[in-house]
Amino acid sequence: MKRSWICASIFSVVATAALADPIGEWRVADGTAHIQISRCGQAICGKIAWLSEKGVDENNPDPRQRKRSLLGLPILNLKPAGANQWTGTIYNAKDGQSYAASLALRSEKVLLLEGCVNGTNICGGEEWTRVR
């Protein structure tokens, strides 16, 4: 009996770890965009997969980039930083700035994104919900 309980416990831990994956499509907190997260080598990357309103990267600090479409725009580049956690950078097209970012998988359906102005304690965060 003890042996089957141990096997069931191990299976449960392995199954939970397998579910801990941010790969997929996520709706941002205000519902105006979906971000597609995928693997890129050892890191994970994210790009804008859907927008409630089409637009261009008009706030980009590089004038040559200001006419590119937001749809398909890469915004996340994160590396593993622990169990269900990743850190790196995020690009915010609303202000044309990049920020230090951390992402934490809270559940199979919820990601917590936090971004900070580089070199400061000025931070903000929001929860994203899995679309698929």
Q: How far is CA 39 from the centre of its chain?
A: 11
Let me know: does 91 contact 101? Beta carbons within 8 Å: no
Distance CA 48, CA 66 (A): 16
Identify the pLDDT of residue 132: 83
Instruction: Please tell me the predicted confidence (pLDDT) of residue 20.
Output: 66
The continuous run of DSSP H or E covering 7 comes out as helix 2-19
The beta strand positions in 2-132, using DSSP E, are: 24-27, 33-40, 43-51, 74-82, 85-92, 97-107, 110-116, 123-130
Report residue 119's pLDDT band, with 50, 70 and 90 as the boundaries: confident
Give CA–CA dist 76/101, Å, rounded: 8
- pTM for the predicted model, two decimal places: 0.82
If one compares 21 and 75, the residue with the highest pLDDT of the two is: 75
Q: What is the mean pLDDT of the chain?
A: 88
DSSP letter at 70 equals S
Q: Which helix (H) or strand (E) holds 14?
A: helix 2-19
pLDDT (tens digit, 9 = 90+) per residue, 30-82?
999 999 999 999 999 999 999 999 999 999 999 999 999 999 999 999 999 99
- pLDDT for residue 130: 98
CB–CB of 75/47 below 8 Å?
A: yes
User: What is the SS3 assignment for 46?
Assistant: strand
